[in-house]
């Protein structure tokens, strides 16, 4: 009986530790501006986008018919997303001291403007902008994209 209680207590502690560890992930960036219908899809849940809300690797940022979002990533990359648009932060790593630099954004649909940040300046080959039809390499620049819905 004592072993059973120890096992049950261990499982409960482990169950509490896993969500806490997941919540300590470093955000890729933050919402700087938002208007209209604008959402973040995080861990399968759609939540309203608000100024200051953190955006993480694997999140999607989505706007409705009148929505707009301004997103600033930790490396000062900026992404402006227009109405009826969706952008996924497929991967993000900004730890220059450890040599870990990388950014992959997937522009699923709609209109967006990308302004490169420090990752593109330090490691241009580590930045990838994807659309359903193409992959764009970045060399420290501004890119405007208009991706039609399928």
- pTM, entire model: 0.81
Closest CA to 96 of 119, 78, 127: 119
Class of the CATH domain delimited by 27-147:
mainly beta
> How does pLDDT run across 21-60, given as a tens digit for each residue?
445 689 999 999 999 999 999 999 999 999 999 999 999 9
> How does pLDDT run across 61-105, given as a tens digit for each residue?
999 999 999 999 999 999 999 999 999 999 999 999 999 999 999
């Amino acid at each position: 009986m004592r072993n059973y209680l120890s096992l049950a207590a261990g499982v409960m502690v482990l169950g509490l530790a896993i969500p806490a560890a997941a919540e300590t992930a470093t955000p890729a960036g933050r919402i700087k501006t938002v208007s209209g219908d604008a959402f973040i899809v995080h861990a399968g849940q759609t939540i309203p986008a608000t100024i200051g809300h953190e955006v993480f690797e694997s999140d999607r940022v989505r706007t409705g018919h009148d929505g707009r979002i301004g997103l600033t990533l930790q490396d000062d990359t900026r992404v402006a997303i227009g109405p009826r648009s969706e952008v996924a932060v497929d991967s993000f790593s900004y730890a220059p001291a450890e040599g870990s630099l990388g950014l992959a954004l997937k522009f699923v649909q709609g209109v967006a403007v990308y302004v490169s940040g420090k990752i593109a300046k330090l490691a241009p080959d580590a930045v990838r902008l994807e659309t359903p039809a193409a992959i764009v390499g970045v060399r420290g620049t501004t890119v405007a994209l208009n991706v039609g819905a399928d």
